Chain A
Amino acid sequence: MQQLLTILLNGVTSGMIYAAFALALVLIWRSTRIVNFAQAPMAMLTTYIALVVIDAGYSYWIGFAAALVSGLILGALVERLVIRFVDSSSHINAVILTLGLFIVIHALAAIIFGNQFRSFPAPFGLTGRTIGDMNIALTGYDIFKVVAVLIVFGLLVLLFRFTDLGLKMRASAFEQEVAKLLGVRVSRMLTLGWALAAVVGSLAGLLIAGGSLVHPGYMDSIVVFGFVAAVLGGLDSPGGAVVGGLLMGIGLSFVSGYLGQDLVALAALIILIVVLLLRPSGLFAGTAARRV
């Protein structure tokens, strides 16, 4: 019972982070049909920026804000300066390019910040609590992770559902030409989409780093888990990404708790293969009629 509860709580908290990361991938996939593998090192880079700010003596929260703002800028820059100039006759070109960016940002971070592990602070306690004779493995920081991701999801829902800007962004994602004819500056919307995705990715990077160690490669496994979560949810569906992320988090937590830590990466890939074989358009395939 104790173990089950611990595994479940761990699964939900890490699942929320996978969900955030998957959502970042989905935001870009939806509007540009590109899987942005560089999302992981971009988040790593912005987390290092937070670390530099915190190490300079500023509070955790200033570092946190600095990472999100630099994520916004980095996302926009990557779209404006790199992705926009890719020959779009085949989507594979851009995907290969994001893999290239993955390596470049990695190398840059190793040069600038060093290739060793550095500890990253957490803003809230890292100890669980005891209720009766039960140890509940839910730390203050875990609660913060869940709340932070939920707030970001809520803000994105508000943006996309209820604002004119969100409506324009969705129109640009679904039908670029029609959106243009209706007066939407589609290229701006794409830049903004990349920027927002990078903010969400940066949030995932920060939350994973807290109370743990950062290293130029610390986000690399997350891009795999986030990608599997996004595929699980159907790649096109933000809601699906969230559910996919939670399923991944809980599933992998069970694997690590009952079968062993070593099998987690393997389990993620097995889930990916099973999903692609059985439900290639995801668990929540709805509007699959688009591509004719």
Chain B
Amino acid sequence: MTTDTIQIGITDLTVQYGLVTALDSVSMTIRAGATTAILGANGAGKTTLLRTISGLIRPKAGSITFGGEELVGVSPDRMSRKGLAHVPEGRGVIAELTVEENLRLGALGRNRAHDAVTLDQVYDIFVPLAGRRTSSAHTLSGGERQMLVIGRALMATPSVLLLDEPSLGLAPKIVAQIFEIIATLVDAQSMTVVLVEQNARSALSIAEHAVVLDLGKVAVEGPATVLAQDPALRHAYLGF
């Protein structure tokens, strides 16, 4: 798949929480088969953007198209069947279920346009999970939980993976490991990844494209390598 195909098109998206405007007329395109990093400080609107794409928040105005189909107004429980998998911030494991039950759950609402992913395939990618199949998910470490939620998202055989702060609270070594797995998935399965991150340096290292949000508006947009090499921009928005 070429990286020029538009997978998700966002036009003039405005989201308000009461009087606060979280996203102010945001437009961007997410290209197919590539990783797009969404960067910015706390409160820039990154998480709001993902939650609006997956239908958890209704925008005040604007449109989101996914492969040509309008997503605004579609309920969140239909997104996984359409091929959008959203891994929410703060891990999102269901702590009361076992590792295997979490993974099985991922496959129940899967996108049938792609071939099913077996449990064993997920355990091959995330080796530490294989030994914990029957453990309750609340016994997992932070890194294992992140592996579990990404693995669960893979069970849904998505064409687009929305990842909200996968590095949050993890040791740098684990972050590197998880980002490497994401990069491999994008290459091997030509998956589209939308990666929301505060950890800009790591995110830019695996993304092709990046969008910087600032106070609900798109501040900068461009190829990840260009953004990573612009010192003024890095200082202004990315903090490194």
Return A241 CB to nearest CB of chain B, in Å: 16
A181 and B88 contact, CB distance less than 8 A: yes
A171 and B88 contact, CB distance less than 8 A: no
Chain A 176-215 per-residue mask, 1 if CB under 8 angstroms from chain B, else 0: 0111111111100000000000000000000000000000
Q: Which A residues from 238 to 292 make CB contacts under 8 A with B?
A: 287, 289-290
Return B210 CB to nearest CB of chain A, in Å: 24
User: B142 within 8 Å of A by Cβ?
Assistant: no
Return B30 CB to nearest CB of chain A, in Å: 18
Return A166 CB to nearest CB of chain B, in Å: 10
A180 to B56 Cα, complex, angstroms: 9
B108 and A167 contact, CB distance less than 8 A: yes
B77 and A184 contact, CB distance less than 8 A: yes
A164 to B104 Cα, complex, angstroms: 8
Within 8 Å CB of A180, what residues of B? 56, 75-77
A289 to B88 Cα, complex, angstroms: 20
Q: Out of A174, A183, A289, which one reaches B94, CB within 8 Å?
A: A174
Return A74 CB to nearest CB of chain B, in Å: 26
User: A106 within 8 Å of B by Cβ?
Assistant: no
* Stretch with Cβ within 8 A of A (4 or more), from B13-21, B34-42, B78-86, B215-223: B78-86
B77 and A185 contact, CB distance less than 8 A: yes
User: B152 within 8 Å of A by Cβ?
Assistant: yes
A178 and B108 contact, CB distance less than 8 A: no
Q: Out of B56, B95, B106, B138, which one reaches A182, CB within 8 Å?
A: B106
A171 and B76 contact, CB distance less than 8 A: no
Chain A 154-173 per-residue mask, 1 if CB under 8 angstroms from chain B, else 0: 00000000001001101100
Within 8 Å CB of B106, what residues of A? 182
A263 to B90 Cα, complex, angstroms: 50
User: A55 within 8 Å of B by Cβ?
Assistant: no
A182 and B80 contact, CB distance less than 8 A: yes
B94 and A177 contact, CB distance less than 8 A: no
Within 8 Å CB of A178, what residues of B? 88, 92, 94
User: B12 within 8 Å of A by Cβ?
Assistant: no
Within 8 Å CB of A170, what residues of B? 94, 96-97, 101
User: B109 within 8 Å of A by Cβ?
Assistant: yes
B108 and A183 contact, CB distance less than 8 A: yes
Please report the number of residue pairs spanning A and B whose Cβ atoms sit closer than 8 angstroms: 72
B77 and A186 contact, CB distance less than 8 A: yes
CB-based nearest B residue for A170: B97
Q: Which B residues from 99 to 145 make CB contacts under 8 A with A?
A: 101, 104-106, 108-110, 138
Interface centre among B56, B104, B108, B110 (most CB of A within 10 A): B108
A23 to B33 Cα, complex, angstroms: 49
Q: With A167-B108, A177-B88, A290-B95 as given contacts, are A183 and B138 in contact (CB-CB < 8 Å)?
A: no
A175 to B56 Cα, complex, angstroms: 14
Return B45 CB to nearest CB of chain A, in Å: 19
A212 to B8 Cα, complex, angstroms: 66
A186 to B80 Cα, complex, angstroms: 14
A179 to B92 Cα, complex, angstroms: 10
Within 8 Å CB of A289, what residues of B? 95, 138
Within 8 Å CB of B101, what residues of A? 167, 170
User: B146 within 8 Å of A by Cβ?
Assistant: no
B108 and A164 contact, CB distance less than 8 A: yes
Interface centre among A164, A180, A184 (most CB of B within 10 A): A180
User: B167 within 8 Å of A by Cβ?
Assistant: no
B108 and A184 contact, CB distance less than 8 A: yes
A287 and B138 contact, CB distance less than 8 A: yes
A289 to B136 Cα, complex, angstroms: 13
Within 8 Å CB of A185, what residues of B? 77
Return B148 CB to nearest CB of chain A, in Å: 12
A167 to B88 Cα, complex, angstroms: 20
Q: With A174-B97, A178-B94 as given contacts, are A168 and B77 in contact (CB-CB < 8 Å)?
A: no
User: B54 within 8 Å of A by Cβ?
Assistant: yes
Within 8 Å CB of B88, what residues of A? 177-178, 181
Within 8 Å CB of A167, what residues of B? 97, 101, 104-105, 108
Interface centre among A164, A170, A181, A290 (most CB of B within 10 A): A181
Q: With A167-B105, A171-B97, A289-B138 as given contacts, are A183 and B92 in contact (CB-CB < 8 Å)?
A: no
- Which positions in B face A, CB cutoff 8 Å? 54, 56, 75-81, 85-86, 88, 92, 94-97, 101, 104-106, 108-110, 138, 152, 156
- Which positions in A face B, CB cutoff 8 Å? 164, 167-168, 170-171, 174-175, 177-186, 287, 289-290
The 8 closest A-B pairs by CB, nearest first: A183-B109, A183-B80, A180-B76, A180-B77, A174-B96, A181-B86, A175-B94, A178-B92
CB pairs A–B below 8 angstroms (5 shown)? A177-B56, A179-B105, A182-B108, A183-B109, A290-B95
